[in-house]
Chain A
Amino acid sequence: MPLDNEILVRARDLRKRYGNHEAVRGVDFEIRRGEAFGFLGANGAGKSTTMRMIGCVSEPSGGHLEVFDLDPHTDGPAIRARLGVVPQDNTLDTMLTVFENLTVYAGYFGIKRREAKAKAAELLEFVQLSARANDQVNDLSGGMQRRLAIARSLINAPDLVLLDEPTTGLDPQARHLVWERLFQLKQQGVSILLTTHYMDEAEQLCDRLVVMDEGRIIAAGSPRELIDTYVTKEVVELRFAGRHTTALAELALELDGIGGQIEPLPDRILVYTDDAEDTAAALEARDIRPTSVLDRRATLEDVFLRLTGRALVEDEA
């Protein structure tokens, strides 16, 4: 999709401090109209805090932030009028019906009742919830509630939709349904900003992303660019039955020179390589015999691991 050059969000040295803790430590980025932009990072990396500053519900402690060329400090309501927000907790009103959740929310934007009803019906169709319009929100599954929250975020035809961990806590089928809707939004040219700690989500949905760690941006680019820049084309995963953590770290030393970087994890060793067959032959030559060898394409997970030395999902409970 050709990207318009209009910049929707511009951040320079953006910071947020809570007491002695600096959650965001000087980040720079720009988000352009029509693109799907992602903040990727483990829990506590500063993604949601950055998102809240863009959403004008959190005042930056330092640096510069512009949203739609406006200053969040003075123009919060005007900026929020043009944003769609899908919070992690949905914040749907459980006392209201599915349909009312949309029409009441439309009222917050000053959308007239008749127009709100028409738009609500259209959005329920879009997220495949028309049949549940008169149900109570509590009767919906987690995936349906998330889809309703997405529909709600579109009620004001926003210039930019902010999604905070859009598929966290959903089962695989529900995740795919959400992804499908978000992908469709992307196709329609809606600008999307999402935070995630799922690599596949970032790879599928984001045109461009930044990787955050401990409040800083440690890498930026398209998923492909990041993979090309930070890791090799392929990754060979080696498992050795009965060997874990320290044993694998020691074994990793024996693999030196076999491919690119060697990354021992608690349960496996990753060998970054541009040619998996060569790597297999080199293992054979050194008489190293793993119990399983998995050859796969490098992903953003590998980028994150390479950059931080930690797996992205390890913070997940």
Chain B
Amino acid sequence: MTAVAAPAPARLGHAAGAWRAFLLQLALYRHIWHGTAFSSVILPILYMVSIGIGVGSYIDDASTGGITYAEFIAPGLIASVAVMMLGNDMVYPVFGGYREWGGSYLAQRATPLRPVDILNGHLLYAVVFRPLTACTVVAVVLAFFGVYTSAWAALAVVAAVFVSASIAPWLFAWCSSLKSESMLNAVFRFAIMPITLFSGVFFPAEQMPGFLQPLVWLSPLWHGTELARAATADVAPALPPIAHLAYLVALGAGGWLAARRVVVRRLSF
């Protein structure tokens, strides 16, 4: 048998570790990309036709800050696609990674990869690769509806990446620490669904009752939507852009620290 000289550096860099772990996600994606590409094209068309144009025909531009309703919801749609994708990429794949039927983290753990590489590799896929590809497709499809009034519209995709980065590590931490599969649905019921509905994507957040406003401010999707809307429609966001960004980065960083703690514990026997 020919010997393969496996490069065995004394120290595996964090970037290299994350990249190697990411290769698994990429290989898996090659098996499912047709389905996701289809939904990336069809989903925004359905939303735009039914809600953007259908519901929008009843809505006065004045109530959406002087832009059409389709223009109002387009940036939020781009950002919310990133949130919805996390429901696929960061729930069952993370939970199963530690189990006999999935086991991909257990397999990776037996190799030079450290638990933190396994975490970073999955995040690289869910936070960077997936939003950059899928949200770009969504943004391009929406362009055909003529919903961008700013030259900076492409930055809405970047806002979507930040939204993803702020939520994904928390999902990783939560799904890594669960003992039972039944709790996974809670992610959709109590996180993804309410975040998508109450973050100022489909109506201005100020329309929400006052006592719910703090929840809106907590929602990463609201911050992302504000940034994305500034990019696509040149509307001034609720806070200075740097404040929205800082919130998303801080939330993501806190999540990453929590996720690192959990993944190290789960993969140390």
Measured CB to CB, the residues of A under 8 A from B are 49, 52, 55, 57-59, 75-78, 80-83, 85, 87, 89-96, 100, 103-105, 107-111, 115, 119, 122, 126, 154-157, 188
Contact = CB atoms under 8 A, between A and B. Distances in A.
B269 interface: yes
A109 B31 CA distance: 23
B110 A96 contact: no
Contacts of B24: 93, 104, 107-108
A160 B8 CA distance: 14
Interface string B112-146: 11100000000000000000000000000000000
Q: Is the interface of B mostly helix, strand, loop or mixed?
A: loop
Interface stretch (B41-49, B99-107, B186-194, B254-262): B99-107
A155 B27 CA distance: 17
B268 A57 contact: yes
B2 A122 contact: yes
Interface string B40-81: 000000000000000000000000000000000000000000
B114 A92 contact: no
A180 to B, nearest CB: 15
B197 to A, nearest CB: 31
Given A93-B24, A107-B20, 7 more contacts: A57-B267, A77-B11, A93-B28, A104-B23, A109-B6, A109-B7, A157-B1
Contact of B110 (A87, A100, A104, A126): A87
A65 to B, nearest CB: 15
Interface residues of B, number: 38
Contact of B6 (A81, A89, A90, A92): A81
B5 interface: yes
Q: Across chains A and B, which 9 residue pairs bring their CB atoms closest together, nearest first?
A: A91-B103, A81-B8, A156-B6, A108-B111, A85-B110, A91-B107, A77-B112, A107-B23, A58-B269
Contacts of B11: 77-78
Given A52-B269, A89-B106, A108-B21, A78 B4 contact: no
Nearest to B109: A57
A103 B28 CA distance: 12
B10 A110 contact: no
B108 interface: yes
A108 B108 contact: yes
B181 to A, nearest CB: 17
B250 interface: no
Interface of B: 1-12, 16-17, 20-21, 23-24, 27-28, 31, 100-104, 106-114, 267-269
Nearest to A95: B28
A105 B24 CA distance: 8
A92 B96 CA distance: 12
B103 A89 contact: yes
Contacts of B106: 87, 89, 91
Contacts of B21: 108
B6 A111 contact: yes
Contacts of A59: 268
Interface residues of A: mostly helix, strand, loop or mixed? Answer: loop
11 contacts: A77-B113, A78-B10, A81-B112, A94-B102, A104-B24, A109-B8, A109-B20, A115-B4, A156-B6, A157-B1, A188-B1
Nearest to B22: A107
Select the residue from A91, A93, A154, A155 with max chain B CB neighbours within 10 A. Answer: A91
Contact of A91 (B28, B31, B104): B104
Interface centre among B7, B16, B23, B111 (most CB of A within 10 A): B111
A52 B106 CA distance: 12
B19 to A, nearest CB: 9
A160 to B, nearest CB: 13
Nearest to A123: B1
A108 B27 contact: no
Question: Max chain A CB contacts within 10 Å: which of B1, B24, B106?
Answer: B1
A58 B114 CA distance: 12
B78 to A, nearest CB: 28
A119 B269 contact: no
Contact of A94 (B7, B23, B101, B268): B101
A83 B8 CA distance: 11
A205 to B, nearest CB: 18
B8 A78 contact: yes
Given A57-B269, A58-B268, A93 B111 contact: no
A78 B2 CA distance: 22
Contact of B107 (A92, A115, A122): A92
B95 to A, nearest CB: 14
A93 B12 CA distance: 24
A245 to B, nearest CB: 37
B110 A110 contact: no
B3 A157 contact: yes
B122 to A, nearest CB: 14
Contacts of B269: 49, 52, 57-58
